[in-house]
Amino acid sequence: MKKYLERIWNGIVTENPTLILMLGMCPTLAVSTRAMNGVGMGLSTTAVLILSNLVISLLRRVIPNEVRLPAYIVVVASLVTVTELTMQAYLPELFAALGLYIPLIVVNCIILGRAEAYASKNPPLLSAFDGLGIGLGFTLALALAGALRELLGNGTVFGAQVLPESIEPIGIFVQPPGAFLIIALIIAVMNAIGIKTRQRKLVESPCDGRCGLCSQACEQKGGAKDE
């Protein structure tokens, strides 16, 4: 039991995908205009993560090593399509707000990163919990960014008025520049109080290019050269 809880703690705190590992920045920047959108996006990604980790872990002895990445992509893309259609049917408003970013969960580095780093080596149930933990960590980070942007840019949090009406909100925070600014400030505050992001220096060679799959591709190329 303890190791399952440890997986969840790991995802939310130790290896928080957005705040510590700095993965999946595209959706973080794009959908954090409202706290509610952030939570919606986070939970959709969580659903895909749990299922993809589970399926990939179950198939880990079946998928040949050479074609594992295309195989993972097919699994993830199918699950994303299922999630997309489900949301379209039952949560049409959220689906409209998130738009393009739902199908783009396919290329979210977090998902392929977890498939490669964890699910391909661990038993199904543990992998599912890993997906849950990482997904919740992602959701919390998105909710935090969303809540801050909504508060500063609109005076509300989760739609409820927080700042008094007499204070004019700073509209720029719900516009695209505000996304970069808020994430920059969150990381700066983390730096200031001594929480280290595990992203090394912002990348020397393109092969340090962070995203799980990118570095994979680079490793493969490096390996190919050695042969």
Partner 1 sequence: MKSLILIMIGSALINNVVLNQFLGICSFLGVSKQMKASASLGAAVIFVLTLASAATSLIYDHLLSPLDLDFMKTIVFILVIAALVQIVEMFLKKKSPAVYRALGIYLPLITTNCAVLGVALTNVQDGYNFVESVVSGFGTAIGYTLAIVLLASIRSRINEDDIPAPLRGAPIVLITAALMSLAFMGFSGLSF
Q: Does 86 bind partner 1 (CB under 8 A)?
A: no
Which secondary structure element, helix H or strand E, spans residue 157, and what is its range? strand 156-157
159 dihedral zone (left: phi>0; alpha: psi -120 to 50; beta): left
Contact segment (CB under 8 A) with partner 1 among 2-10, 79-87, 129-137, 149-157 equals 79-87
Nearest-5° angle of CA 176, CA 182, CA 183?
A: 100
For residue 5, the one-letter residue type is L
Q: Is 220 in the site for partner 1 (CB under 8 A)?
A: yes
Point out which span in 42-50, 137-145, 149-157, 213-221 binds partner 1 (CB under 8 A).
Answer: 213-221
Spell out the residues 6+ positions from residue 3 whose beta carbon is closer than 8 angstroms to its own. 126
Q: Which is nearer to partner 1, 112 or 132 (CB)?
A: 112
Among 8, 58, 71, 73, binds partner 1 (CB under 8 A): 73
Length of the chain: 227
Residue 199 is a binding residue for partner 1 (CB under 8 A): yes
Positions in 111-130 near partner 1 (CB under 8 A): 112
Q: Does 40 bind partner 1 (CB under 8 A)?
A: no
Total of residues contacting partner 1 (CB under 8 A): 58
Q: Are 35 and 160 in contact (CB under 8 A)?
A: no
Compute CA distances 109 → 23, 87, 133, 163, 165, whole Å. 6, 22, 16, 36, 40
Contacting residues toward partner 1, per CB under 8 A: 22, 25-27, 29-30, 70, 73-74, 77-78, 80-81, 84-85, 100, 103-104, 106-109, 112, 172, 175-181, 183-185, 187-189, 191-192, 197, 199, 201-211, 213-214, 217-218, 220-221
